[in-house]
Structure 1
Amino acid sequence: MNDWIEYYDSPHTIYVSKLHRDVHFRTIARDIVGYIPSKHSVVLDYACGEALSAETVADACGRLILAEPAPGVRGRLVVRFAPNTKIRVRSLDELRHMDEKSVDLAVMNSVAQYMTPDALDAAFAVIRRLLKPAGRLVLGDILQPNVGLSGDVIALLRFAAKHGFVKDALRGLARTALSDYRQLRTRIGLQRYNEAEMLAKLAAAGFTATRTPANIGHNPSRMTFVARLAFERGRNADAAS
């Protein structure tokens, strides 16, 4: 994951324009808000990136923890959200020192593809420790093995057409073809899982999960899962019987 952290911590061309960047983060924030159980919830955004619309999420919950591994991005988050008392910025290492069972909703969106399977398991273990018994993990933007780069291109162009930045998208795609992102994606690759593989991986980490009808964000070819602690699901079933 370190190569990807360095990439996102440096100037990059992943967003084709300011408009693309802004609507991307607005869309993500809107979708996350839909999973927040109450106005009093503690929400963790794991490897949140720039999180430009985090205040939208913070307005819908009691406290928002933005956890980010890239030091430069994390520094910008601290400065950007310093006036907002509902937002706290943390490194991933700091999550290990947070109180157990202190988080109602953990979100890990567009992160798993950059992590080795072992690193993802370690992240699941941290999140499992932090979740309250009735808490949920929302795991979004999971890449499927049968959907390649062309699927991402089509999704971007449809998103651009909806929001009015098609010309920028076409120019941006040309830049990306020659960029460090394309080189990293070719050299390192991205982790992909089919639905059964991710459900099994979550089960091995102590969760019971289901795939949602719609993915977080603009790419419908990717998957989102909602997971609960396995013992909590079992306890609810016993109570109902």
Structure 2
Amino acid sequence: MDEWIDYYDSTHTIYASRLHRDLHFEVIARDIIGYIKTPDAVVLDYACGEALSATKVADACATLYLAEPAPGVRGRLAARFAPNSKIRVRSLDELNTLDAGSIDLVVMNSVAQYMTPQELDGAFAVIHRLLKPSGRFVLGDILRPEVGMVRDVLALLKFAATHGFLRDALIGLVSTALSDYRQLRARIGLQRYGEAEMIAKLGAAGFSVTRAPRNIGHNPWRMTFVAQLRA
């Protein structure tokens, strides 16, 4: 995961435009809010990235932890959300200092593909410790083995056409094809999991799990799972 952390901590071109970037985080925030049951909930966004719409999530809960491994991104988060007393920025290592059974909802979205299976198991163990018995773990944007990059492109183009940045998206796809992201993806690859495989992996980590009817974010070809501590 370290090379991907370095990539996202750099000046990258993963978003086609500022509008694309802003809409990306708005949609994710909307979907996270849909999983918050009560306004007194404590929520953890695991490896949250820039989390530009985190204020909206914080408005829907009591406390929002933004855990981010990239130091540059984490510094920007701390500066951006310093005025908001509901938002607390942490490194992934600092999650070990949080009390066991203290989190109502953990969201890990569009992260698992960048982790080795062993790293993902380690993250599941941390999340298992942090969840309240009644808490939920939402694992989103899981890449499927049978779905390739073409459908990712089509999902992006549909999203772009709907929201008015299609020209920027087409230019961005060309830029991405020539970028460090494409080279890194070709060299390291992204982890993919079938539905049964991910359910079994979460089960081995001590969760009971179901697949959500729709994925977090704009890509319908990817999967989201909702897990709880197994009784």
Give me the TM-score of the superposition, normalised by structure 1. Answer: 0.96
2:71 maps to 71
1:22 maps to 22
**Deviation by residue 1:110-159 (Cα, 9 ceiling, x = unmatched):** 00000000000000000000000000000000000011111110000000
User: Partners of 1:162 and 1:109 in 2: how far apart?
Assistant: 22
2:159 maps to 159
**Deviation by residue 1:175-207 (Cα, 9 ceiling, x = unmatched):** 000000000110000000000000000000000
**Deviation by residue 1:19-43 (Cα, 9 ceiling, x = unmatched):** 0000000000000000001000000
1:13 maps to 13
1:214 maps to 214
User: Partners of 2:230 and 2:87 in 1: how far apart?
Assistant: 29
Unaligned runs of 5+ in 2: none
* Stretches of 4+ aligned residues off by more than 2 angstroms: none
Paired AA for residue 215 in structure 1: N
Paired AA for residue 121 in structure 1: D
SS, match of residue 44 in structure 1: strand
User: Partners of 2:37 and 2:227 in 1: how far apart?
Assistant: 14
SS, match of residue 97 in structure 2: coil
**Deviation by residue 1:196-237 (Cα, 9 ceiling, x = unmatched):** 000000000000000011000000000000000011xxxxxx
1:123 maps to 123
User: Partners of 2:112 and 2:166 in 1: how far apart?
Assistant: 28
**Deviation by residue 1:70-101 (Cα, 9 ceiling, x = unmatched):** 00000000000000000000000000111000
Paired AA for residue 156 in structure 1: L
SS, match of residue 108 in structure 2: strand
2:103 maps to 103
1:201 aligns with 2:228: no
Paired AA for residue 4 in structure 1: W
Paired AA for residue 80 in structure 2: R
1:223 aligns with 2:220: no
1:40 maps to 40
Unaligned runs of 5+ in 1: 232-241
1:60 aligns with 2:69: no
2:147 maps to 147
Paired AA for residue 30 in structure 1: R
Paired AA for residue 90 in structure 1: R
Q: Using the aligned pairs only, state the percent identity.
A: 74
User: Partners of 1:146 and 1:160 in 2: how far apart?
Assistant: 24
SS, match of residue 96 in structure 1: helix
Give me the TM-score of the superposition, normalised by structure 2. Answer: 1.00
User: Partners of 2:111 and 2:69 in 1: how far apart?
Assistant: 11
User: Partners of 1:101 and 1:67 in 2: how far apart?
Assistant: 17
SS, match of residue 113 in structure 1: helix
